[in-house]
Amino acid sequence: MARRKLHTKLCDLLGIEYPIIQAGMGGFSDPPLVIAVSEAGGLGTLGGATYTPETLDAAIREIRKGTSKPFGIDLLLPESLQDYAGFSKQKLYEAIPQEYRDYEKELRRKFAVPEDYVTQREVALWTLEGTKAMIEVCLENSVPVLAAGLGRLGWTMTECRARGIKTIGIGANVKMAMKHVEDQVDVIVAQGYDAGGHTGTIGTLALVPQIVDAVKPTPVAAAGGIADGRGLVAALALGAEGVWCGSMFLLTPDVTFTEGQKDRIIAATERDAVITKGYTGKTARQLRNPMTESWDKGPLPPLGWPLHLLLTEHIIDYAFEHSDESEYDQILITPVSQATRLLNRRKPVKDIIDDVIEEAVRILDEGVPLKGSGDHVTRRWKLH
Ligand SMILES: Cc1cc2nc3c(=O)[nH]c(=O)nc-3n(C[C@H](O)[C@H](O)[C@H](O)COP(=O)(O)O)c2cc1C
């Protein structure tokens, strides 16, 4: 079958075939997924949160070997990093109160993580300096797209413009979206409460049109609970130019997930994807598990970012390193949206994108069925 067309202004802006951006997912969207999505006509985005400047540089090379199409890098630039400017990782760790360190020891005993285990995984996101070095790598490599998963890109916009790098800012409310307008980013993601990963408090359906209206004429990509062609059409109807989707890709062979994580998503109901601060200290949606319960129902409220993640990283990393054993696999951090029942079987990236476009085009061609009358409300959609 000939490939269907669904083209919006966002496609022209980013140089992609379909208005589907695969969202940055730190620790889960690495070069294989980025390459697969970009090759399939969307925009693949590397989740930069688990990288160092050196590994990020290597990953960019790997992506460029795998595809000549545009791709993005997503970095976390939380404003709270400014509060810890000049802090080393050790100094940050010393800022964690003793009662939290004691509780972490208790959790190690509970989840059979050795008392003396220290993660060897280096990441740069802890410090402002490390984060700036990551941005420098993106600038030096003139990556096609740079996204700020948390925080703002304002201070690097001039350099991005000079290198032809397109920028994406993420907003979970109108106030944050307006900060991205002030920074003059190229695309704003309106990310609703339904989303997997770090998320805000406003539902996608209510949020998207409010951000679309507020940021006009900046193009908006809708995010949060969009997992099929119906979701894409809904996003377009709300005024978005495309979608920014993470959960949609979690059952593909190219995501950095264990098979156990995929099985648990397939088995999950929409009520199992809960909001918790238990892993990173920021509100994030993920599958409920014994680790989230230990914080959500535990004696201490989670610390803020980045201290909480600094506290929990050893348990998180030990679990990943031993995820072939089910007792550790079940405490893996598994972010996913509320659209869990739409994520019900493993599928290759290309099939996902083709099916979403196919379904969206069919709905747009046939129109919306009018209940009872057998008629359809149709309209010729001019997307571009
Ligand atoms: C597994 C997973 C990991 C995520 N990690 C990040 C991250 O590191 N940085 C970020 O900006 N957003 C992260 N997010 C949020 C996504 O960028 C995106 O906003 C979200 O997936 C959109 O909603 P959806 O999951 O309903 O598609 C993550 C989401 C998921 C599902």
Nearest alpha-carbon partner for 304 in 80, 99, 75, 150:
80
| Closest residue CA from atom 11 of ligand 1 | 149
Percent of the chain with pLDDT over 90: 79
Over residues 55-67, the mean pLDDT reads 98
Check pocket membership of 333 for ligand 1, CB cut-off 6 A: no
Q: Cite the beta strand spans of the chain per DSSP E.
A: 20-22, 44-47, 71-77, 145-151, 166-171, 187-191, 197-198, 220-223, 242-245, 273-276, 284-287, 368-369, 376-377
Provide the pLDDT for residue 105.
96
Q: Is residue 353 within 8 Å of residue 42, measured between CB atoms?
A: yes
Does residue 376 carry a pLDDT above 70? no
AA identity, residue 133? A
Q: Are 45 and 70 in contact (CB under 8 A)?
A: no
Ligand 1 mean position, distance from CA 365 (Å) = 31
- List, in sequence order, every residue forming a beta bridge with 369; answer none if it has no partner: 376
pLDDT at 41: 98
What mean pLDDT is predicted for residues 329-351? 96
Which whole number is the average pLDDT over 160-179? Answer: 97
How far is the C-alpha of 9 from the C-alpha of 137, rounded, in Å? 28
Nearest to 131 by CA among 159, 152, 157, 160: 152
- What is the pLDDT averaged over residues 282-297? 94
Q: Is 301 helix (H, G, I), strand (E, B) or coil?
A: coil
Query: pLDDT of 227-263, one tens digit each?
Result: 999 999 999 999 999 999 999 999 999 999 999 999 9
The proportion of the chain whose per-residue pLDDT surpasses 70, expressed as a percent, equals 92
CA of 99 to the centre of ligand 1 (A): 31
Q: Is the CB of 225 under 6 A from ligand 1?
A: yes
Mean pLDDT value across residues 84-88: 68
CB 143 within 8 A of CB 71: yes
370 pLDDT above the threshold of 80: no
- The DSSP result for 8-44, as a single string, is -HHHHHHT-SSSEEEPP-TTT--HHHHHHHHHTTSBE
Mean pLDDT of the chain: 92
Cα 224 to middle of ligand 1, angstroms:
9
Ligand 1 contacts CB of residue 45 (under 6 A) = no
pLDDT at 375: 63
CB 60 within 8 A of CB 75: no
Whether residue 314 has its Cβ less than 6 Å from ligand 1 = no
Residue 128 has what pLDDT?
Answer: 78
Judged against a pLDDT cut of 70, whether residue 319 lies above it is answered with: yes
The amino acid at 207:
L
* pLDDT the model gives residue 5: 85
- 1 pLDDT band, cuts 50/70/90, is very low
Nearest-atom index, ligand 1, CA of 147? 11
Per-residue pLDDT band for 374 (boundaries 50, 70, 90) equals low
Give start and end residues of each alpha helix (H) in 41-127: 53-66, 89-94, 98-110
C-alpha dihedral, 54 to 58 to 64 to 70, nearest 10°: -40
Q: Would the CB of 171 count as within 6 Å of ligand 1?
A: no
Q: Which of 20, 21, 25, 204 to mutate to test the pocket of ligand 1 (most atoms within 8 A of CB)?
A: 25
SS3 of residue 298 by DSSP: coil
pLDDT of residue 372: 62
Mean pLDDT of 178-205: 97
Residue with more model confidence, 149 or 196: 196
Average pLDDT (30-56) is 97
Query: Do strands 71-77 and 242-245 pair parallel, antiparallel, or not at all (unpaired)?
Result: unpaired
Indicate if the pLDDT at residue 101 is higher than 50: yes
Regarding the beta carbon of 25 and ligand 1, being less than 6 Å apart is answered yes
Domains of the chain: 1-86+127-253+346-368+377-384 (3.20.20.70), 99-120+257-341 (no CATH)
pTM across the whole model? 0.93
Tell me if 48 CB under 6 Å of ligand 1. no
Atom 29 of ligand 1, residue of closest alpha carbon: 197
